[in-house]
A and B are shown apart, each in its own frame.
Chain A
Amino acid sequence: MYSEKVLEHLRNPRNVGKIENPDGVGKVGNPVCGDVMVMYLKIRDNIIEDAKFETFGCGAAIATSSIATELIKGKTIEEALSITNRAVADALDGLPPQKMHCSVLAEEAIRSAINDYLAKKRVENGEGRIS
């Protein structure tokens, strides 16, 4: 059912954990549905210097989180935002059809963490609405 690569990432997930004082955090999913991903980013000069994750979910959810952190590390924000769920799945040599939603969750986690960073930055620069 799963590719060797998915199993390998489940066996040895990369970048597990929190980042202290992260520049961006994205939390997606819902425990009721059985999948929650939290992604933490450290960003400097528009480059994602570090990415870590915490995930509650099935093997595919953990593997997609793990590969997603690998895919975005060292990338610019624009490059990271252009990563699609398909790219996440392809990087794992594919996912079974019923598990494709896990790759969607990974894409959403990346976007959510970057949007959090961008929102904070706008506030810092006085661009955001402070309510």
Chain B
Amino acid sequence: MIYLDCNATTPCDQRVIEAMLPFFAEKFGNPSSLHSIGQEAKKALETSRHTIAQCLGAEDQEIIFTSGGTEANNLAIRGSAYALWNKGNHLITSAIEHHAVLNVFKALEKEGFQVTYLPVDENGLVDPQEFKKSITPRTTLVSIMHANNETGVIEPIQEIASLAKEYGLLFHTDAVQTIGKLSFNVKEIPVDLLSASAHKFYGPKGVGFLYVKKGVRLIPQILGGPHERGKRAGTENVPLIVGMAKALEIAQANWEDEYRHVEELRNRLEQGITERIREVTVVGKNAPRLPNTSMILVKYVEGEAMLLNLDFAGICVSSGSACTSGSLEPSHVLLSCGYPHEIAHGSVRFSLGRSNTVEEIQTVLEVFPHIVEKLRNISPFGKEAI
């Protein structure tokens, strides 16, 4: 199998698995217990917190463990919107956020908040000036993703974060696609809240974290005991947290080498595809992008049909097509970039990772043009151009 779907998930690193194993049956304690077995788990928990904080240039108490990126986004957005309810009810986000952000805002709209969904240009970029114009005296929070999961396009969050600070707004970024792939320092980019998920950087599924800048108030979304400084109740998932810290430590130590490795392969893939297949578009090619991601639009064919045919050939990818998600609408990200429906239906996303090789990319370049040719032959469109 050739796995090119690393923005969906990554395999757990063997070193991560080994780091986690003792914490299931041997060092199984509850970190809230005062006895030695509990304190052993507590120590592992706090060491993990320290490792993660160090990677981000944050302080230990600024890291809150969650069950993943989705929960971190829910806690950040709902938690801060309600904490600032008395100051205002206007919130700002972008049209291309992940559903774990968009659907939180949609729910808040039903609950009485007003939400501005900033548009993006053809490359999928938010315009900081557009953001500035949308600020009102009742605005309290802005949430803009760091990099888009479908296109890999990196948003100008440095500028947006600075503007937010200038206007006294809280700034949240969904950094699920960037933590582990890029270096991120909260001292350089002044974020108040940042969400991350372990399984995107070779850690286990079911665990993530939220960076909460000291002094930022959140209304907890899960109620119970006093865990995580009262921001998130529930016994901490020690094995997965230990694994996440290990995974981030590994990713952080090697991110520059990995960046260059996947970027070279991605560029080779894009160049090969555009040379071999007519009428294809690389989304966001002119914008800053993650080095591993390539969203390709192939005219006259549909994304899911390409995905399944690639799978027949042992190649795993994703598609932003409607048919993958089960809804009739194609990717909201591609539509927001201004692509018409019939073009957006023909999307396929390659997202590379550390273990991919030149040989694998070569195989994709041999197989993919035949798949497109086969599907274009079935399609009633585009034949006259052959």
A contact residues vs B (CB 8 Å cutoff): 2, 7, 10-11, 13, 16-17, 27, 31-36, 38, 54-62, 96, 98-99, 101
In the complex, B380 has a CB within 8 A of chain A: yes
Q: Which chain A residue lies CB-closest to B309?
A: A10
Q: Taking each of A16, A36, A58, which has the highest tally of chain B beta carbons within 10 Å of its own beta carbon?
A: A58
When distances are taken between beta carbons in the complex, the residues of chain A under 8 Å from B380 are: 27, 36, 38, 54-56
Chain B residues with CB below 8 A from A98, complex form: 326-327
Q: Which residue of B lies closest to A54 (CB)?
A: B380
Q: Which chain A positions have C-beta within 8 A of B305?
A: 10, 57-59, 61-62
| Bound CA span A10–B312, Å | 10
B302 pairs with A56, CB closer than 8 A: yes
- Kindly provide the distance from the CB of A13 to the nearest chain B CB, expressed in whole angstroms: 6
B17 within 8 A of partner (CB): no
The interface on chain B, measured as residues whose beta carbon lies within 8 A of the other chain's beta carbons, has a size of 25
B379 neighbours in A (Cβ, 8 Å)? 54-56
Identify the closest chain A residue to B311 (Cβ): A7
**In the complex, what distance in Å separates the CA atom of A32 from the CA atom of B340?**
8
- Complex interface: chain A residues within 8 A of B323 (CB): 34, 57-60, 99
- Beyond A34-B302, A34-B323, is A62–B378 a contact (Cβ under 8 Å)? yes
Taking CB atoms, residues of chain B closer than 8 Å to A59 are 304-305, 308, 323
Residues of B within 8 A of A16 (CB): 377-378
Q: Does B381 contact A (CB under 8 A)?
A: yes
Residues of B within 8 A of A36 (CB): 380-381
Whether A57 contacts B302 by the Cβ 8 Å rule is yes
Complex-state Cα separation, A33 to B345, whole angstroms: 8
Name B275-333 residues within 8 Å CB distance of A: 300-305, 308-309, 312, 321-323, 326-328, 330
The CA of A116 and the CA of B169, in the complex, are separated in Å by 63
B312, B321, B341, B377: which contacts A58 (Cβ < 8 A)? B321
Residue of A nearest to B375 (CB): A62
| A31/B308 in contact, CB under 8 A | no
Q: Report how far A101 CA is from B330 CA in the complex, Å.
A: 16
A56 touching B321 by the CB < 8 A rule?
no
List of B residues within 8 angstroms of A11 by Cβ: 309, 312
Which B residues are in CB contact (< 8 Å) with A10?
305, 308-309
Task: Say whether, besides A31-B341, A31-B381, A32-B342, A61 and B309 are in contact (CB < 8 Å).
Answer: no
CB distance from B323 to the nearest CB of A (A): 3
Interfacial chain B residues near A62, Cβ < 8 Å: 305, 378
| A10–B306 CA distance with the chains assembled, in angstroms | 10
In the complex, A13 Cα to B309 Cα: how many Å?
12
- Is the Cβ of B378 less than 8 Å from the Cβ of A54? yes
Q: Which 7 A-B pairs have the closest CB atoms?
A: A58-B323, A31-B342, A54-B380, A98-B326, A58-B304, A34-B345, A32-B341
CA distance A62 to B327 in the complex (A): 18
- Given A55-B380, A56-B300, A62-B378, A34 and B308 contact (CB-CB distance below 8 Å): no
Distance from B245 Cβ to chain A, minimum over Cβ atoms (Å): 35
Report the bound CA distance from A56 to B342 in whole Å.
10
Q: Do the beta carbons of A56 and B308 come within 8 Å of each other?
A: no
**For the complex, what is the distance from the CA of A31 to the CA of B300, rounded to whole Å?**
9
In the complex, what residue of chain A is closest to B303 when comparing beta carbons? A58
CB <8 Å contact, A34 and B322: yes
* Residue numbers in B under 8 Å from A61 (CB-CB): 302, 305
CA distance A27 to B301 in the complex (A): 17
List residues of chain B with CB within 8 A of the CB of A57. 302, 305, 323
In the bound complex, CA of A86 to CA of B326 (Å):
19
- Assembly CA distance A32 to B302 (angstroms): 11
Taking CB atoms, residues of chain B closer than 8 Å to A17 are 377
Docked complex Cα distance between A31 and B330 (Å): 11
- Could you say which residues of chain B place their CB within 8 Å of the CB of A55? 378-380
Give Cα A27 to B304, complex, Å. Answer: 21
**B341 & A34 in contact (Cβ 8 Å cutoff):** yes
Chain B nearest CB from A17 CB (Å) reads: 8
